[in-house]
Amino acid sequence: MGGSSATVTLNGNQVSCPVRSGSVGPDVIDIRKLYAQTGAFTFDPGFTSTASCDSAITYIDGDEGVLLHRGYPIGQLAEHSSFMEVSYLLLNGELPSKDVLDKFSGTISRHTMLHEQLATFYRGFRRDAHPMAIMCGVVGALSAFYHDSTDITDPHQRMVASHRLIAKMPTIAAMAYKYSVGQPFLYPRNDLSYTGNFLRMTFGVPAEDYYVNPVVERALDRIFILHADHEQNASTSTVRLAGSSGANPFACIAAGIACLWGPAHGGANEAALNMLREIGTPDRIPHYIERAKNKDDPFRLMGFGHRVYKNYDPRATVMQSTVREVFEALNVSDPVFEVALQLEHMALNDPYFIEKKLFPNVDFYSGVILSAIGFPTTMFTALFALARTVGWVAQWNEMISDPEQKIGRPRQLYTGPAQRDYVPVDKR
C-alpha cells in the first residue's frame, strides 16, 4: 500500500511523484506538485487516464464488468434492494436497519411536495418543451424557494437539501410529463412508495383512482437502482466541479442535469430507442452496423460502448431480463425488442465491436422497458436524471465534506498567438 513513487524526467530534472493505492482498483500517481517542480502540466483532455478525486461511494472494474455501490454488487442490489434503500446506502455508506429505512423513506415522502409557486414555472414553457429543458429550469429555480438549505457549510442544511432534491425530482419530472400532455398535475401521496407515487403522479388522473401495478412498480424501482450512481461520469464530474466553487446544491444538480442531457451520456437512452425504431426490422440491421463502423459516417450505435466498461455493462444484463418481466406483466410485446436482441448479437460477433470492446451499456435496453410502461422517449433522460440525483448529491456531499477540497481549475496547452501589439483599424 503506497510508499512507491513514479519518476518524471523532464529537461534533465528528475521529479518523484508519490503513488497512492485505493482499497481496490488502479493505483494513482499523485502529480499535484508536478507543475511547481517541472513547469509542465499533464495533458488528458477526455480524462481517460485521470482520477479527479478519491471516493468511497462507487467502484467500477470496466474490464470485468463489475459495479459496486459501497461494496455491494449492482446485481445483488437490483435483485434484493429498493431504490430508497440504495439511496440511503449511497448517502450514508451502510445498509440501514428496517427502522432506519422506514424513517428515511418517511422523511423523503414528506419532502415530495413542491412550493406551489413552482407550478407556475411550467406555464412559461411551450407544451412541447423537452422535459430536460424543464428539469434544468425548475431544479435550478429550487434555490430561489428553499433558502433554508443552501448554506453548504452547514451539514444539517446539506442533508435537508439532499433529501429535498431526491424527494422532489419525481414530482418535477411527473409535472413535466403532465404539462406536455395537457393534463392537470397530481399532488404526491405519502401512502405510496417512492416509485409508486411517481407512477401515479405521471399516469394517474383526478377523475379516478390509479392502480399501481406492482410488477411495473418493482421494474421501475429496479431501473432507478441501475441509474443511481456511476463513479465520476461526466454529469457527476459536472456536479463536483460546480460544487467546488461553493455553488448551492440546487444549482449544482441543475448543472448535472444539463450535462446528462447529451446523447453521448444520459441522452443515449432516448437516442437508442429512436435508433431501434428507425432500424425497424432485423433485415435492416447490417446496414446500420456498417454505418456505425464507417469513420466518415457520424452515426454510432446508441446504447453501445462505454468509456470504462470494456466488457458487458452489468446494468444492461439486468435491464434485458427486466424487459421480459414487464412485457409478460403488461401482456405486451414490441418488435423493437427483437431488433435490439439481434442487433446486440450481430454487433458482439463483429470484429469491429470485438476489437474495440464495444458492448451494450445501461441505455441500450432501458428505453424498450420505459416505452412499454407508457413513457414517451422524451421522458427517458428525465427518468435517468430522477434516479441519478441521489448519486449526484452523495458525491457532492462527499466532496464538500472533504477537508482538502478546493475549487476545480484545470489548466491548458495554449496553441494561440504569442503576445502581439494592437493594430489600429486604419493600419490593418
User: Active-site residue 363, yes or no?
Assistant: yes
- Residue (78 or 118) nearer to ligand SDX, CB: 78
Contact 256, 419 (CB under 8 A): no
Contact 342, 248 (CB under 8 A): no
Contact 210, 66 (CB under 8 A): no
Q: What is the DSSP track for 218-238?
A: HHHHHHHHHHS--SS-HHHHH
- Residue (88 or 309) nearer to ligand SDX, CB: 309
Of 255, 333, 268, 342, the C-alpha closest to 301 is: 268
- Residue (172 or 358) nearer to ligand SDX, CB: 358
What sign does the CA torsion over 253, 254, 256, 257 have? positive
- Alpha helices, DSSP H only, in 54-193? 74-80, 83-92, 98-109, 118-123, 131-141, 155-181
Cβ at position 311, least distance to ligand SDX in Å:
13
**Cell 421480459, residue located:** 324
Cβ at position 56, least distance to ligand SDX in Å:
17
Please state, in angstroms and rounded to a whole number, the distance separating the CA atoms of residues 362 and 269. Answer: 8
Cβ at position 323, least distance to ligand SDX in Å:
17
Cβ at position 224, least distance to ligand SDX in Å:
13
User: Active-site residue 27, yes or no?
Assistant: no
Cβ at position 387, least distance to ligand SDX in Å:
10
State the residue number with the nearest CB to ligand SDX: 305
- Binding-site ranges for ligand SDX (CB under 6 A): 46, 230, 233, 264-266, 268, 292, 300-308, 356, 358, 361-363
268 to 58, 103, 253, 260, 313: CA distances (angstroms): 22, 35, 19, 9, 14
164 to 12, 93, 348: CA distances (angstroms): 55, 19, 42
- Residue (127 or 356) nearer to ligand SDX, CB: 356
Single out the catalytic residue among 69, 163, 265, 306.
306
- Residue (204 or 303) nearer to ligand SDX, CB: 303
**Which residue numbers are catalytic?**
306, 363
